[in-house]
């Protein structure tokens, strides 16, 4: 099952640039939460702070409290552990090019030393089914490289790979922005299925996409969160003038 995330006064820097300023919000469990805003507003940095990916960049740093359930991810756990509980799907599909489809999906378990064949087989099948890719690849799981799939298939494989380690939260950083409309709609259908089991945070440039998949939406601008509310409210009756300008296409 998914778990909720409470963020309090999160600040983040790249070098001397203050990319996130005092972000506080509650992300409810087993819901999809969308983050929208113009390029460079800090949405990606924000999700990267939720699994401590932000700090893999040597010049980056972050302060504040991020609580996943009862766990303060910056105080109570090490980053590697956190990333096993908070899965991530990136903007561009990033399969491991030397690995087969099977090994790609199993990589999170295998690279952490898990070797039980039967469990691996079962996990790979379950994850690929959950990512709606099983029927397309089941015949060449071990024959084909993960990089040989189409872009949309690769992205669903990356989702399967993230699901295979059984996370509680799934972060998606513009997961469909490099895909064609058919693949995009498959990914969106998938998000609907997945949020029954996982808490989903999705960054998107596509406002229709946010409206379609997410119950709650946050609007980011220049490193600050301008507004956070139910998606319906944000898109029909935003409180802030800047949110209204953005969703009506007046800038960004």
Partner 1 sequence: MGANSLHTPPPPQESAISRAPIERQSRRVRLNRARRYLWNHVVTGLAILSTIVVIAPLVAILVYLIYKGTSSLNLAFFTKIPAPVGEPGGGMSNAIVGSSIVLALASVLGIPVGIAAGVYLGEFGRGKLLAGAVRFTADVLNGVPSIVMGIAAYALIVVEQKHFSAFSGGVALAIMMVPTITRTTEEMLATVPHAIREAAYGLGVPKWRTVLSVTLKTASPGIITGCMLAFARVAGETAPLLFTAFGNQFWSFKLNEPIAALPLQIYIYALSPYDEWHRLAWGGSLVLIVLIMASVTLVRIYANRGVLKGAS
Binding residues for partner 1 (CB under 8 A): 51, 53, 56, 58, 80-85, 87-88, 90, 92, 94-100, 107-108, 111-112, 140, 143-145, 147-149, 158, 161-162, 165
* Shortest CB 145 distance to partner 1, Å: 4
Query: Between 33 and 104, whose beta carbon lies closer to partner 1?
Result: 104
Shortest Å distance, C-beta 242 to partner 1? 31
Rounded Cα distance between 223 and 41, Å, is 5
Instruction: Give me the least distance between CB of 250 and partner 1, in Å please.
Output: 31
Query: To the nearest whole angstrom, how small is the minimum distance from the Cβ of residue 99 to partner 1?
Result: 8
- Give the count of beta carbons closer than 10 Å to the beta carbon of residue 139: 8
Q: Are strands 224-230 and 60-68 parallel, antiparallel or unpaired?
A: unpaired
The set of residues, in sequence order, having a beta carbon less than 8 Å from that of 26 and lying 6+ positions away, is 4, 5, 6, 7
Instruction: Kindly give, in sequence order, each residue whose CB lies less than 8 Å from that of residue 43, ignoring residues fewer than 6 positions away.
Output: 35, 36, 37, 203, 220
Query: What value, to the nearest 5°, has the Cα angle with vertex 12 and ends 8 and 16?
Result: 150
**Residue with smaller CB distance to partner 1, 163 or 234:** 163
Closest to partner 1 by CB, 125 vs 140, is 140
Whichever of 3 and 82 has its CB closer to partner 1, that residue is: 82
CB of 79 to partner 1, least distance (A): 8
Mutual orientation of helices 151-164 and 101-110 as an angle, nearest 10°?
A: 30
| Closest CB to partner 1 among residues 167, 223 | 167
């Amino acid at each position: 099952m998914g778990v909720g995330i409470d963020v309090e006064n999160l600040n983040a820097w790249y070098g001397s640039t203050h990319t996130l300023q005092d972000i506080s919000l509650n992300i409810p469990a087993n819901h999809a939460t969308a983050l929208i805003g113009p390029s460079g507003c800090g949405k990606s940095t924000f999700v990267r702070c939720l699994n401590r990916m932000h700090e893999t960049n040597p010049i980056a740093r972050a302060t504040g409290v991020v609580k996943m359930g009862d766990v303060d991810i910056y105080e109570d756990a090490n980053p590697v552990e956190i990333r096993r509980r908070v899965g991530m799907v990136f903007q561009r599909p990033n399969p491991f090019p030397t690995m087969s489809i099977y090994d790609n999906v199993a990589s999170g378990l295998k690279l952490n030393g898990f070797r039980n064949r039967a469990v691996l087989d079962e996990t790979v099948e379950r994850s690929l089914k959950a990512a709606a890719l099983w029927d397309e690849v089941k015949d060449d799981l071990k024959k084909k490289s993960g990089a040989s799939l189409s872009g949309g298939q690769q992205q669903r494989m990356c989702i399967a790979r993230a699901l295979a380690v059984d996370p509680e939260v799934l972060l998606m950083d513009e997961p469909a922005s490099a895909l064609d409309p058919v693949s995009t709609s498959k990914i969106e259908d998938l998000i609907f299925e997945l949020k029954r089991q996982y808490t989903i945070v999705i960054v998107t440039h596509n406002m229709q996409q946010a409206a379609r998949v997410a119950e709650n939406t946050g609007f980011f601008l220049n490193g600050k969160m301008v507004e956070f509310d139910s998606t319906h409210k944000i898109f029909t009756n935003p409180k802030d003038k800047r949110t209204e300008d953005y969703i009506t296409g007046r800038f960004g």
